[in-house]
Amino acid sequence: MKKINKEKIKTWLVTGASSGIGKQISKELLNRGYNVIAIARNIPDITHRNVLCLSVDVTKPDTINDAIKKGIEKFGKIDVLLNNAGITASVTLEEETLEHMKSVMETNFFGYFNTIHAILPHFRQNKNGTIINNISESGLTPSAYSSAYCSSKHALEGLTGVCLIETQKFCRVMSIEPGWFEGTNIIKNQIRTNSAYDEYKDLSPLHKPVNGSFKNDLTIALNGIIDTVELEKLPRRLILGKDAFQKIKSEADSLRKDLKNSKAQAMKCSIQNTIFNKIKLKLINILSNNKKLS
């Protein structure tokens, strides 16, 4: 597959870069010769001549705008936005609180919205940009005890899809859908609540459980992300990990089944557009008469 000109992806803005995927991919990018603006609430502990580490709260647009300004001042431009920041929680929907639901959405959804919203004018003006949203397979596959987390991730799928359509003239957009990887720190600060109700205990997963006969390797995954971004054309989604692949496949199979079962009813809802057919017939007659005259 054709490779992209690396000058078009020379400088990366990486969120959530103080730990987990954000920190590890920042180091790998630097090893490959890229420039990195590494941001997180706690200043990332990364030392390299081509890195700029900044304290940024993605829920506060002013701090994002300041980081973008400083990044451009140091490197001349920004080419890639890689969103990683996120928090999780394990609470049933009935036992969830509005306050906590909002706090998860604030970081997981609005944090991504804020960074994308801030960087788009720069990408549009340069007629070049790449946005990579690390969403997780939870954006496509629901699971129990994850009402806040899955809701935020499903919302990100919608936001990313809209961004893909609207920015197609100047920007590439891709979602990353990883499964479970050790070292990602995804559960570091999560709230976990054991349900007080028997009805919510020992729930069966929606999809077939994934056995533990394998282990996802984070280094392989991170190199796969960079390798993919170095291609000229990006897939809409990059699925990482056997568990993610199997769960997303099960969801896709379910969707295909629903499409098949709903086809007859879906078509029944749509009636003939008589006005459209009259206009179509009129156009056919006009074209037919023009051919006769010529």
Q: Roughly how many angstroms between the first and final C-alpha of the chain, as a whole number?
A: 48
Is residue 278 assigned to a domain? no
Is residue 53 assigned to a domain? yes
The pLDDT value given to residue 234? 98
The pLDDT value given to residue 203? 80
Is residue 271 assigned to a domain? no
Q: Domain range holding 82?
A: 6-262
Expressed in percent and rounded to 5, the helix, strand and coil fractions of the chain are 50, 15, 35
Lowest mean pLDDT among 129-138, 142-151, 256-265: 142-151
Checking if the pLDDT of 51 tops 90, the result is yes
pLDDT tens digits for 23-34? 999 999 999 999
Report how far residue 25's alpha carbon sits from residue 170's, in angstroms, rounded to the nearest whole number.
25
Checking if the pLDDT of 211 tops 80, the result is no
Cβ density class 142-152: b for 16+ within 10 Å, e for less: bbbbbbbbbbb
Is residue 116 assigned to a domain? yes
Checking if the pLDDT of 292 tops 60, the result is no
For range 262-288, the mean pLDDT: 81
Is residue 281 assigned to a domain? no
The residue annotated as part of the active site, out of 34, 112, 145, 149, is: 149
Is residue 269 assigned to a domain? no
pLDDT tens digits for 220-268? 999 999 999 999 999 999 999 999 999 999 999 999 999 999 999 999 9
Lowest mean pLDDT among 12-16, 93-97, 192-196: 192-196
**What CATH number is attached to the domain comprising 138?**
3.40.50.720
pLDDT tens digits for 86-125? 788 788 899 999 999 999 999 999 999 999 999 999 999 9
Total structural domains within the chain: 1
**Residue 200 pLDDT class (50, 70, 90 cuts):** confident
Question: Considering the chain, what is the average pLDDT of its residues?
Answer: 90
Strand order in the sheet with 51-55: 51-55, 35-40, 11-14, 80-83, 130-134, 172-178, 237-240
Is residue 283 assigned to a domain? no
pLDDT tens digits for 175-189? 999 998 876 655 555
Is residue 289 assigned to a domain? no
**Residue 209 pLDDT class (50, 70, 90 cuts):** low
Cα 95–97–99 angle (5° rounding)?
Answer: 165
Lowest mean pLDDT among 189-203, 245-259, 280-294: 280-294
Active site residue 149: yes
Report how far residue 160's alpha carbon sits from residue 157's, in angstroms, rounded to the nearest whole number.
5
- Element (H or E) spanning 71, and its range? helix 61-75
Checking if the pLDDT of 131 tops 90, the result is yes
Nearest-Å Rg of the Cα atoms of the chain is 23
